[in-house]
Amino acid sequence: MTALDLPNYQDVIRASAVLDGVVNRTPVLRSPLADARAGAQLFFKCENFQRTGAFKFRGAYYAIARLSEEQRRAGVVAYSSGNHAQAVALAARLLGTHAVILMPADAPMAKRAATEGYGGQVLTYDRYKDDRIAMAEAFVRDEGRVLLSPYDHADVIAGQGTAALELLQDQTDLDLLVTPIGGGGLISGSALALRALRPGARLIGVEPALGNDAQQSLRSGVLHHITAPRTIADGATTTHLGDRTFAILCRDVDDVVTVTDEELRETLVFLAQRLKLIVEPTGCLGAAALLHGKIALRPGQRAAAILSGGNVDMTALAGYLAAA
Ligand SMILES: *Cc1c(COP(=O)(O)O)cnc(C)c1O
């Protein structure tokens, strides 16, 4: 096996220089009520306010910015349940190239419409049947496009790490960082920043209970594959970690915990009602783990969760709020 091109903290710093002035430096919000519920001090890094509505714009922009002239002429291709799609579409347009996006046919309408609005060319596939990777590879072979993995890519991981980098610059004394896990790009990038700036802090990932492949992978030390989970956390329906994200997870992540869809719904409504934040179900994973006692916290500890995105379909949002 050849050695993986794993990114490091210097890559996160390089990414942050490229992204400076391009990404939104998102706020870190607090809530006394959330603190009281968790019995600790909570900090919410609001990537729901990021461009395209999720942290994925960071990795997509940095990865495309690093392509050669020739690669940018050929364009890029990506597969995504939604947020990577929007991120790649906008980043491609800003950087003067063109994106083909493979999207599950049942992706939220809002995500598909937004991707097309950013100039991406959307093609759909069946997430329970089709091999999206093989479909994407056909575009690489036939059109010379560059395949941008949503997570198993050194530049994408470095770019995603800039969210935690900002958080750690704003809040230097964290004891714990909690992030969602899909394919593991966000937590891997976060690990690079955290282990450099706050090495003693705990790093915990959160998955939907029905799709705990990363938890199984971390605990067994073997990369687990599962069938696509049916969960409202549509950004975390990945079937397995990447080789790079698995390697970083095993090295740097302390634990992976899970939350139920019911706990996600409750957290989504809590964040809307109390913090006035619109956060999509996947973006609620970290906050749900903190608010529902999935992670041991001592009084006074400082725990941050990355609210990773806010792209929830308005009809679905109305349903969550009405049912509460
Ligand atoms: C993609 C995504 C995740 C999961 O990120 P990974 O890098 O795949 O682990 C979490 N939340 C949102 C909103 C996402 O779009």
149 is an active site residue: no
Residue with tokens 């003067």: 96
Atom of ligand 1 nearest to the CA of 310: 13
**Measured in angstroms, how far is the CA atom of residue 188 from the centroid of ligand 1?**
11
141 half-sphere exposure, CB direction, 13 A CA radius? 6
User: What pLDDT does 4 receive?
Assistant: 85
User: What pLDDT does 111 receive?
Assistant: 79
220 is an active site residue: no
The percent of the chain in helix, strand and coil, each rounded to the nearest 5, is 50, 15, 35
What CATH number is given for 9-54+153-323 in this structure?
A: 3.40.50.1100
Q: CA 112 from chain center: how many Å?
A: 18
User: What pLDDT does 2 receive?
Assistant: 60
User: What pLDDT does 318 receive?
Assistant: 97
**Measured in angstroms, how far is the CA atom of residue 181 from the centroid of ligand 1?**
6
Domain ranges in the chain are 9-54+153-323, 57-147
308 is an active site residue: yes
116 is an active site residue: no
User: What DSSP state is assigned to residue 4?
Assistant: P
User: What pLDDT does 81 receive?
Assistant: 64
Per-position pLDDT tens, the chain of length 324 = 467 899 999 999 999 999 999 999 999 999 999 999 999 999 999 999 999 999 999 999 999 999 999 999 999 999 886 899 999 999 999 999 999 999 988 877 777 889 999 999 999 999 788 988 899 999 999 999 999 999 999 999 999 999 999 999 999 999 999 999 999 999 999 999 999 999 999 999 999 999 999 999 999 999 999 988 899 998 898 889 999 999 999 999 999 999 999 999 999 999 999 999 999 999 999 999 999 999 999 999 999 999 999 999 899 999 999 998
Helix (H) or strand (E) holding 228: none
What CATH number is given for 57-147 in this structure?
A: 3.40.50.1100
From 44, 47, 55, the mutation candidate for ligand 1 (largest count of ligand atoms within 8 A of CB) is 55
Q: CA 199 from chain center: how many Å?
A: 22
- Catalytic residue, chosen from 47, 213, 263, 280, is 213
pTM metric for this prediction: 0.95
End-to-end CA distance of the chain: 51
User: 57-147: same fold as 9-54+153-323?
Assistant: yes
* DSSP of 89-132: HHHHHHTT--EEEEEETTS-HHHHHHHHHTT-EEEEE-TTT--H
User: What pLDDT does 280 receive?
Assistant: 97
- Catalytic residue, chosen from 16, 80, 217, 308, is 308
